[in-house]
Amino acid sequence: MSEKRLCCAVIRINLDCNACCRKVRRILINMKEVETHVIEKKERKIIVCGQFRPSDIAVKLQKKMKRRVEILEIEDLSGGHGGEEEHYHHEQPYEPQHEYPADQVTTPLLC
């Protein structure tokens, strides 16, 4: 991914206190390429969406926060409008492992 594309990235960074969260928020707001972000302090994750390269965001956060940054997941949202081929992983539909007989299934009464 050499060019900037519309994507959503999940990044792990150690967030000790509310001041760390405020500093990360300030850094992300000042980045023009970031459209939206969510900071999850308890899970130590940041979800960032926008038109950027995830490695650029990780490097910038690492330099400004002086902490280790790890990219956990990248989701491409461009929808195939780039010149490159897109490879999507199609998940199989959910199939229950157990089948219950129709006479044993009950529905709750709604009063």
- How high is the pLDDT of residue 96? 55
Pick the CATH number of 5-76 from 2.40.50.140, 3.10.20.90, 3.30.70.100, 3.30.160.40: 3.30.70.100
Domain boundaries, the chain: 5-76
- pLDDT on residue 102: 59
pTM of the model: 0.65
Instruction: Pick out the chain residues at pLDDT < 50.
Output: 1, 82-90
Q: DSSP secondary structure string, 26-50?
A: HHHHH-TTEEEEEEETTTTEEEEEE
pLDDT at 86: 44
pLDDT of residue 8: 93
> Would you state the pLDDT for residue 4?
76
Query: In Å, what is the CA distance from 99 to each residue of 79, 85, 102?
Result: 37, 40, 9
